[in-house]
């Protein structure tokens, strides 16, 4: 297999350099070699998008529907293949990879339908004889920058609405996971899109990402990634008055009350904290547990973790795959040392594991006897590491849950309708789960958080229109 090229102006083009895509489950397995664009490549992609913009933003709803439906149908038909590719390059288990590919297909198909449902308003003017129309129009050219932890779903939930609302796209995937992004681009290349309406530029964030942020022709940038990078994205874009949408970190609480069903609580916590190797911005990293159930809960979670199989993402029966790369594994190990240095008790796990193939395997870790002031409870670790915080009652649990710079997702396990209702209303998070994992959301409703987790309009569902369109008010005197 040769170098997988960038897609610019309807053509496959070489990059300035190329980079191997390594399987974190098996470091001897090269998934593929992918082109790396430079700033000149981004300029070429933006120029192609400018050439396509007038035609695509005047396209009919049926044209947009046809393109997105084509993409959704093909991803769905190839979900096993694409899920396997995802598992190889990112380290999710094969069932998780197939599930994510399925979700990407559903997202494209949802926004195919949304292309047919773009609405406006006609209202009466306060002036006699004047008509007023309020319509939504494309922003123009959208820069899309995605992370490595959801290499097909997050690109889908940004690319699909951008195209559905008539925008042209310049797309930079995470450097670690170009395979799924390239697969989406290849499908889009056969979808009937006009040349230049969609462009793929793979490469380093410091090169390709910066070129996207600083190009005046890009009217909006949607970014998912770290808080520090998000702050830079916001500062750069707002300085030139470009729209910006940020989804960043999380330090999500899962509250477990004395009246919770223990099996439900353990299932929700283990899923939310450790599945997908804990590499989810919605992961349950802070487990806020009341005194009456604390010891039983901790014992049950430890026993459940012991049953989880950590192995090659493609091996049947694997529950948790590897950490994505050496850098992320080093970060996880550093926080394990920090937690113990702060006085937290490592109740289970935290060991680097050896398997039949060399990879980045880490045993899921559970800290107990922690306080909310510890770094392990303030900073996002982004790995299979969770901390238990013991609290007296519901009121203290709510206060601890809200005591964070983040506000993406929050959960509560309880059989009390009173406490569930109060928590939904008073949790300072953009998404709240009751007796469900904090990770795992539907594709047709808004996604996003508060405080340091999100900035700008929501993603997904019909709320995506707030970011990918601009509102025009037109007055007519017949």
DSSP assignments along 237-254, one per residue: HHHTT-EEEEE----EEE
With pLDDT > 70 as the criterion, what percentage of the chain qualifies? 100
Which pLDDT does position 53 carry in this prediction?
96
Which pLDDT does position 195 carry in this prediction?
98
| CB-based contacts of 179, cutoff 8 Å, min separation 6 | 4, 21, 31, 32, 34, 85, 86, 88, 89, 151
| Calpha distance 249→150 (Å, rounded) | 14
Does the active-site annotation cover 121? no
| Calpha distance 202→193 (Å, rounded) | 20
Among residues 281, 380, 413, 459, the one annotated as catalytic is 281
223: three-class secondary structure by DSSP:
strand
Which pLDDT does position 50 carry in this prediction?
98
What DSSP character marks residue 197?
S
Among residues 74, 100, 247, 380, the one annotated as catalytic is 247
HSE-up of 441 (CA within 13 Å, CB side)? 28
Contact 349, 366 (CB under 8 A): yes
Phi, psi of 427 (to 5 degrees): -70, 135
Which pLDDT does position 194 carry in this prediction?
97
Which pLDDT does position 175 carry in this prediction?
95
Does the active-site annotation cover 281? yes
Which pLDDT does position 345 carry in this prediction?
98
Q: How many C-beta atoms lie closer than 10 Å to residue 222's C-beta?
A: 29
Which pLDDT does position 328 carry in this prediction?
97
CB < 8 Å & 24+ apart, contacts of 421-428: 422/394, 422/398, 423/255, 423/398, 426/398, 426/402, 427/398, 427/401, 427/402, 428/402
pTM value?
A: 0.97
| Calpha distance 223→246 (Å, rounded) | 5
Q: What parts of the chain have a pLDDT lower than 70?
A: 1
Per the listing, tokens 């895509």 go with 21
């Amino acid at each position: 297999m040769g170098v997988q090229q960038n897609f610019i102006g309807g053509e496959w083009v070489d990059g300035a350099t190329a980079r191997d895509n390594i399987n974190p489950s098996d470091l001897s397995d090269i998934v593929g070699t992918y082109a790396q664009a430079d700033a000149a490549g981004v300029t070429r992609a933006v120029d192609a998008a400018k050439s396509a913009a007038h035609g695509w933003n005047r396209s009919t709803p049926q044209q947009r529907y046809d393109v997105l439906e084509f993409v959704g149908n093909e991803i769905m038909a190839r979900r096993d293949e694409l899920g396997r590719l995802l598992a190889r390059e990112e380290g999710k288990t094969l069932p998780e990879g197939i599930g994510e590919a399925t979700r990407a297909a559903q997202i494209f198909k949802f926004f195919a339908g949304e292309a047919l449902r773009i609405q406006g308003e006609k209202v009466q003017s306060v002036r006699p004889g004047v008509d007023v129309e309020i319509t939504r129009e494309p922003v123009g050219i959208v820069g899309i920058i995605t992370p490595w932890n959801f290499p097909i779903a997050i690109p889908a939930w940004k690319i699909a609405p951008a195209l559905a609302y008539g925008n042209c796209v310049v797309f930079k995937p995470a450097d670690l996971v170009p395979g799924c992004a390239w697969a989406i681009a290849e499908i889009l290349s056969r979808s009937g899109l006009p040349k230049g309406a969609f462009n793929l530029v793979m490469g380093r964030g410091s090169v390709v990402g910066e070129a996207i942020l600083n190009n005046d022709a890009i009217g909006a940038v949607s970014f998912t990634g770290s808080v520090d990078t998000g702050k830079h994205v916001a500062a750069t874009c707002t300085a030139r008055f470009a729209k910006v949408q940020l989804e960043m970190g999380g330090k999500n609480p899962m509250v477990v009350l004395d009246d919770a069903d223990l099996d439900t609580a353990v299932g929700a916590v283990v899923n939310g904290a450790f599945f997908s190797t804990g590499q989810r911005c919605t992961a349950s990293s802070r487990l806020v547990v009341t005194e009456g159930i604390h010891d039983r809960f901790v014992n049950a979670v430890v026993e459940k973790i012991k049953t989880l199989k950590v192995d090659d993402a493609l091996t049947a029966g694997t529950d948790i795959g590897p950490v994505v790369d050496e850098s992320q594994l080093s970060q996880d190990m550093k926080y394990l040392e920090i937690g113990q240095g702060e006085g937290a008790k490592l109740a289970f796990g935290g060991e680097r594991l050896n398997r039949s193939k060399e990879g980045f395997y880490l045993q899921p870790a559970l800290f107990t006897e922690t306080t909310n002031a510890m770094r392990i409870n303030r900073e996002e670790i982004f790995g299979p590491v969770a901390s238990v915080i013991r609290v007296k009652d519901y009121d203290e649990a709510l206060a601890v849950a809200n005591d964070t710079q983040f506000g993406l997702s929050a959960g509560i396990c309880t059989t009390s309708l009173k406490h569930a209702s109060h928590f939904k209303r008073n949790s300072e998070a953009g998404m709240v789960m009751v007796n469900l994992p904090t990770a795992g959301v539907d594709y047709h409703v808004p996604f996003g958080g508060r405080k340091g987790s999100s900035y700008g309009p929501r993603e997904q569902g019909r709320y995506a229109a707030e970011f990918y369109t601009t509102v025009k008010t037109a007055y007519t005197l017949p």
